[in-house]
């Protein structure tokens, strides 16, 4: 596509010089510029575990960080379960001052008392060795969804979904985007299995959750390149259409 000299200079300063990349940067295409959620580490086993839990009527907790990445991510997952009509859901967000960042044992105790048997983290958990082990001792399985840097080892979670693990094509997603990928994969698999609560949801409904992903992507200051730019572009489009 043709661009002005000024725009070309601005793009060059951002490292966007190839015609194909200019096209993607200025005119994102959802199908072309987003990746299959099942390319993320442990996605298949995570979706299978959640569907199994839903089928058995397990109480599931969404445990999210307290910032403007974790909270929108929790909203994405909560809205997905609500749309599916699944009510055995808890949301736990630690208090910034009284608890601080992390996957806390006291919070796990609280969730255990409520009968939670599966915890899905959002924007936290990649280095939560003690928290994940403690949950395991309590008989609670943990699916970590996160985007933070990986250390030399990983916690003993049931599954860890993180774009920095494995061969996912784009490594800079924010936490809410990773949660949205999980929601998308869950809907895909549920429809393929012919589960009634899933087949009732229109194809592409999950795109209406991208307003939360856009807010989180911008607020968490991850690079507005690649898939992040596409999710934000369409998320801002959704934001303009919501109340």
Q: What is the pLDDT of residues 30-55, one digit of tens each?
A: 999 999 999 999 999 999 999 999 99
Q: What is the pLDDT of residue 2?
A: 84
User: What is the average pLDDT across 49-73?
Assistant: 98
- Alpha-carbon distance 98 to 88, whole Å? 27
Q: Give per-residue pLDDT as tens, 193-231.
A: 999 999 999 999 999 999 999 999 999 999 999 999 999
For the chain, what percent of residues have pLDDT higher than 70? Answer: 100
pTM (two decimals) = 0.96
Which tokens sit at 185?
């994969």
Which tokens sit at 31?
């199908």
Count of CA atoms in the C-beta half-sphere (13 A) of 227: 19
Q: Give per-residue pLDDT as tens, 153-208.
A: 999 999 999 999 999 999 999 999 999 999 999 999 999 999 999 999 999 999 99
Q: Is 123 left (phi over 0), alpha (psi -120 to 50) or beta?
A: left
Q: What is the pLDDT of residue 10?
A: 95
């Amino acid at each position: 596509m043709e661009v002005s000299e000024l725009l070309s200079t601005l793009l060059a300063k951002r490292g966007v010089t190839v015609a194909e990349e200019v096209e993607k940067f200025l005119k994102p295409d959802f199908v072309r510029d987003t990746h299959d959620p099942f390319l993320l580490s442990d996605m298949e086993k995570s979706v299978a575990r959640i569907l199994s839990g839903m089928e058995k009527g397990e109480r599931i907790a969404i445990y999210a960080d307290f910032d403007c990445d974790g909270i929108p991510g929790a909203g994405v997952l909560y809205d997905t379960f609500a749309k599916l009509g699944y009510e055995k859901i808890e949301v736990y967000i630690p208090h910034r001052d009284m608890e601080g960042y992390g996957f806390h044992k006291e919070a796990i105790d609280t969730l255990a008392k409520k009968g939670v048997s599966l915890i899905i983290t959002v924007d936290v958990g990649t280095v939560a060795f003690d928290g994940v082990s403690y949950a395991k001792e309590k008989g609670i399985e943990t699916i970590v969804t996160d985007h933070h840097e990986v250390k030399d080892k990983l916690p003993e979670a049931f599954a860890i979904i993180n774009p920095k693990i494995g061969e996912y094509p784009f490594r800079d997603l924010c936490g809410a985007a990773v949660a949205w990928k999980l929601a998308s994969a869950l809907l895909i698999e549920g429809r393929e299995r012919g589960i009634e609560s899933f087949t009732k949801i229109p194809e592409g409904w999950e795109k209406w959750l991208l307003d939360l992903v856009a807010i989180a992507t911008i607020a968490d200051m991850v690079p507005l390149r690649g898939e992040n730019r596409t999710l934000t572009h369409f998320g801002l489009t959704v934001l303009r259409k919501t109340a």
